[in-house]
Structure 1
Amino acid sequence: MTSDEPEPRVSEHSPRHGRLRRSHAGLTLLKTVGIATAVAVIAAGGIGAFELTELGRQVADNSIDISNGTDAATPLPVPHIGAIEGGFNFLLVGTDNDAAQGDAYGVRDATLNDVNILLHVSADHTSGVVVSLPRDLIVPHPDCVDPDTGEEFYAMSARPLNEAWSRGGLGCVVATVSELTGQPISYAGTVSFNGVIAMTDAIGGVPVCVEEAIDDPDAALVLPAGTSVISGATALGFLRSRHGVGDGSDLSRISSQQTYMSSLMRTMKSADTLGNLGTLYSLARAATANVKLSSNLSSLDSIVAMAYALKDVDLDRLVFVQYPGGTSDPDFPGKVVPYTELADELFAAISADQPFTLDENSLGNGTVLDPNATPTPTAPEPDPAVTETPAPEATEDPEVIAAGVPEAAPAAAAPTVIEGLKGITATTQTCAAAYSG
């Protein structure tokens, strides 16, 4: 362990946070944004009544109970059309085993929560944080209940995060991440490898940059150096690749996934993508067929409400970070052990909706800055021909104050810098780093 690396700690008695309440009634940020923008078009009348009814039925049929066996005093409310009021958290889970995929990605005897991404949208819907939790993160696991069989699983300490699915499906993953982070998670969704292919095909491609050519047989990925527009199986391969980027670790893979997600967000925010009704309708169909949502998102009204909240998030205030942790603990070789103090600082900022930014050393092993990045546009110079009304000067004169002249507004506080986090913002243009393992 280097002298400047935070000391890893594993607590067997981490504080247990409130359980999620039962509701009545998706592998990357791709699923959330794809569903949201597509269904927004549906709500605006972009498709016919029959298609609308059919999509609504598919969403309801694929919904998942994430209550984890808890009782509820009152159900979670289903939002009406319009943005969800206040902030919210959405957990996206990518699974590595689907009955329909066969042995295309290797033979597996169990389903694991291979990718775990927590999306937080602020109460004013102008900023967000996307936290990628490593699958090998060593965490405490709470009591869980399998919603299909009723089988109960006792709490355990210091086990990899990706074991949560086998202990109760999506609801257990939600409970585990909620307890670890201290964040209430009201919404969740899951998608398989096949679902990722369908969703990326529907988007029509996302530009990604790689520092050097990638040839990773394990992920069935071959990419030339530079920027390529990827979709379908190629996009899945890029998101899965470990031995093609960085040091071959899951942490490097998370960094390259953030390269994809930030480019995805820039693509989805572009006028060409958001204005193409055909693309958005394809997204809606792909989402309903391949993404399973928590039961409190089993109506199109609920998804539209999330869409309206997500569309206003500023890209320069959308931060992608890794859950703080390292692989140097000899008690857990090859696993990621949390840096609890840094994690506490991160989630305290999220809980308070406090905007934050990253330090100059935030890039992970899996990314480098894109040397050919397009400069970020700057605000236009003011037109000297336009005369603006000057803002009133601040004053302490009681007669002036009594006359109704306001004091000058205080300057907005600069975002806090959280030292030591690994990640990027949605405006940071990066390339997947060359493999150095």
Structure 2
Amino acid sequence: MAFVSTASVAAIAAKQVTDDLGDGVQIEGQPAPRSNGTKAPSLSAYKGGFNMLVVGTDNDPDQSAEFGERDATLNDVNILLHVSADHTNATAVSIPRDLVTPIPACKKTDGSGTASAMAAQPINTSFSDGGLNCVTQTVQGLTGLDIQYSAAVSFNGVIEMSNAIGGVPVCVAQPIEDPYTGLDLPAGTSTLQGDEALAFLRTRHGVGDGSDLGRISSQQVFLSSLLRTVKSNDTLTSPTTLYKLARAAASNMQLSESLNDIGTMVQMGRALQDLPLSQVNFVQYPGTTGGTGVYEGKVQPTTYLADRLFAKIKADQSFSLGEDSTGIGSETNAAPSAAASSPAAAAPSAPESSPAAAAPSSPAAAAPTASATPETIDGLEGQSADQQTCSKAFGY
């Protein structure tokens, strides 16, 4: 009887999430299992691992007026996640919103035709006419990688998803005050969720040098702690928490047709659960500011470093970062006890120190990607997920 009851509850929950999903976004080149009646491909079907693009948009018809009025929707956050085929390593690449790159011709989301290709534009303009599909095509052209899954999350989505997991402990080295986002944090560790988590991720004027590049490294402080928290509190194995997270995502995100499937979401959760924190890198797409011409006031790609980075990802090979790789908006936390003031922040350190705990939990993750020590890519900015880091306040 208990088994039947549990199965019934699970079926109801799955039905509710499916209803929330609605129709997925058509992305050129990605499978569309729900729209054509076919089954979603297994993650293992993608040789060399899978790639997923997560886009953060700055405008939404349902968002609160406190976030301001905007003439167009821009993709101000662009993160490309690669998970290796054996689920032993992953790389999340944050692409600066002002990175100048070609934007291909894309079908307009309003169905009025095709937006013309542009030779050199900030990447955050690629969403305005062509939506998630155009951002995906742009990032594929920039990186040379095939992207199998895409998702776009609005401000409201960030709020609801941070609430679903109960908050994320974040360390800041100095007090952060940003009147533009309303963020006011003391030095030390605070657990952020809801509006405060969104304000932290949005703040640019409050961290580093006040630029988007500083914001990216500060965001990596949040994202690395998020992953540590999710793994330490069994989010990915807790049916209740997973249900809350799935409903928050389904109700507040645009998902590609390839991702708009509960079975695919479950597979991804299992893949993320297997990942050793030390083998997850958060990196910034390499680039510099201060150029001339089309690069004036924008970000110019550092091609030789980008080529090395994406060659590793395309070959499904892990790599390590050089010393002092944290960016201008973060710093290594020299005193782990400060970050450990929150139980959620302290929990990850124990499992990672235990060889048994770090062992892969699924057959797919049984074989390591390579037995040799991963190559170090000097010059990349970022951090691994097991690094305890703190955001630096503006001017420090």
TM-score (norm. length: structure 2): 0.85
Deviates more, 1:298-307 or 1:347-356: 298-307
For residue 181 of structure 2, what is the aligned residue in structure 1?
219
In structure 1, give the amino acid aligned to 2:86.
D
Q: Deviations over 1:119-175 (max 9, x none)?
A: 000111110000000110000111111143142122111110001001310000000
Structure 2 CA distance for partners of 1:379 and 1:173, relative to 1, 3 Å? closer
Q: Distance in 2 between matches of 1:46 and 1:335?
A: 54
Structure 2 CA distance for partners of 1:77 and 1:352, relative to 1, 3 Å? farther
For residue 241 of structure 1, what is the aligned residue in structure 2?
203
* 2:321–2:383 CA contact under 8 A, matched in 1: yes
1:67 Cα deviation after fit: 1.5
1:330 Cα deviation after fit: 2.6
For residue 123 of structure 1, what is the aligned residue in structure 2?
85
| Aligned pairs (5 A) from 1:278-289 | 278-289=240-251
For residue 134 of structure 1, what is the aligned residue in structure 2?
96
Query: What RMSD, in angstroms, separates the aligned Cα atoms of the two structures?
Result: 2.7
1:328 Cα deviation after fit: 2.1
* 2:31–2:258 CA contact under 8 A, matched in 1: no
Aligned match of 2:67 in 90, 105, 109?
A: 105
Indicate the structure (1 or 2) with the bigger Cα radius of gyration.
1
* 1:112–1:166 CA contact under 8 A, matched in 2: yes
1:290 Cα deviation after fit: 0.8
For residue 435 of structure 1, what is the aligned residue in structure 2?
394
Q: Distance in 2 between matches of 1:145 and 1:380?
A: 50
Say which SS state the counterpart of residue 104 (structure 1) adopts.
helix
Structure 2 CA distance for partners of 1:125 and 1:276, relative to 1, 3 Å? closer
Aligned match of 2:263 in 301, 319, 323?
A: 301
| Aligned pairs (5 A) from 1:264-279 | 264-271=226-233, 273-274=235-236, 276-279=238-241
2:325 pairs with 1:362: yes
Q: Deviations over 1:9-66 (max 9, x none)?
A: xxxxxxxxxxxxxxxxxxxxxxxxxxxxxxxxxxx9594423321211221x141111
Count of residue correspondences: 362
2:315 pairs with 1:352: yes
Aligned match of 2:378 in 419, 426, 432?
A: 419
For residue 25 of structure 2, what is the aligned residue in structure 1?
64
Q: Distance in 2 between matches of 1:68 and 1:162?
A: 21
Share of identical aligned residues, percent? 49
Say which SS state the counterpart of residue 292 (structure 1) adopts.
strand
* 2:26–2:256 CA contact under 8 A, matched in 1: yes
Gaps of 5+ in 2: 1-5, 338-345, 356-369
For residue 27 of structure 1, what is the aligned residue in structure 2?
none
Structure 2 CA distance for partners of 1:424 and 1:78, relative to 1, 3 Å? farther
Say which SS state the counterpart of residue 311 (structure 1) adopts.
helix
Q: Distance in 2 between matches of 1:162 and 1:338?
A: 15
TM-score (norm. length: structure 1): 0.77
Q: Deviations over 1:281-339 (max 9, x none)?
A: 22122111112210122221222222222221111100000000010213222211100
Gaps of 5+ in 1: 1-43, 382-410
